[in-house]
Structure 1
């Protein structure tokens, strides 16, 4: 009321309602709402975490050579054998003569023919790449110098030797193993007294050549108290072979060996009553009867 006159009488009912709405809006803008702490305030980071993240791009390019850094103990002959190359090819590609010496840290160019690269996406593994590109996972480990394929991370680039068109199946075929040594079996797989014999024993003379039962990567060379001097080869697809009681080695850890290649020499090391080869086959790290896989 102003000077005895009511504002309502001057403006009328409708105008009064509109004025009230304007005043309420004005107060809402000028007076900030009290801070609300709780799920939306404290957990706002959750919205960012849940927002779509860019997926690493899968990349495939053509390569004709691979760079390899020489390690301690490497030789040109050993590198050539590991990557299935000719020794002279490596020498020519790097300007090395017959008497040239390589040294740790030196970078060599390895002419490897056509290759591809693949950037790992989340959830991809070396085994899934092997199936996709129709190559053996063991070959991928050799080409990329991977000792533990379970430690790969998304975004890493994997070199893939191109052996054919991508496929949904692995190129590895189930096949029998070849005998590592020809001789009489002196002890079979299974219970032996109070113990369990996890392989077979083959009689041998000290120094007899021991051969790889199948192609694969040498993942262990060393000595065990019972097994003595031992070699373990990973053939991929969960299969490994073990050769024990050796006298000496003909390969190094990390070497790729072919089926039938000499890897060591029979002996009498470890807990042994005489010269022989103790041979094991392991499927997914469990010993199985070698006679189920040896051909002939």
Structure 2
């Protein structure tokens, strides 16, 4: 059972729990991005089981009529076992999702997985006429070239700052530099993409920049934030007619995810402390 503190960041242990959370989000005008927690399987069985769980989730989501989609991690569906296992399972998930008109996001992991992830999304984006999207990270020095490639791929692109501790040879390490690059990449997307822009950030300055770029160029965009982080701001964005999506993790592997959320942001740790102490 998930304790009350972690419930702020994880929707529950079952797909039904997650769908119930999305239903409550929809009442506030927020859409849900469902993610079954799990990653880095070293054996095929776990990867295949989670791929099957995603196919089932797609069917449940489609039957529910809720405003939502799914998001998968490459290492969760077999990338650590082999590129072929990853592609086989991703093809299976995306194929099922295309039949039920459910959108599929492919999360980005550390920099060593970037090429195989982008290759898969490039192929599937064309095969499904854009029913797949991918996350790219502003801290990676290669991302401007990746965005230039993705501008011609049907689908969506989520821009985040990047959460992995990458080596300085491939990534910017200073926050100020990452913030600068994020804004530059957003401007490229608003000028070169017709649509499919997802602003994956809780940073008010990045959200303000996206708002200004939308006003300047008119390019449609959406904002994506995590469950349990700045949820008042999420509702405020909906009130301002911004398309808002919340990343909704669920599953029995919740502890590692919750621990990472608390460690990575001081305000998350304070939030958890208040939940325990009532202050």
TM-score (norm 2): 0.22
Higher relative contact order (CA 8 A, sep 6+): 2
Richer in helix (by share): 2
Bigger fraction of residues in strand = 1
TM norm structure 1: 0.21
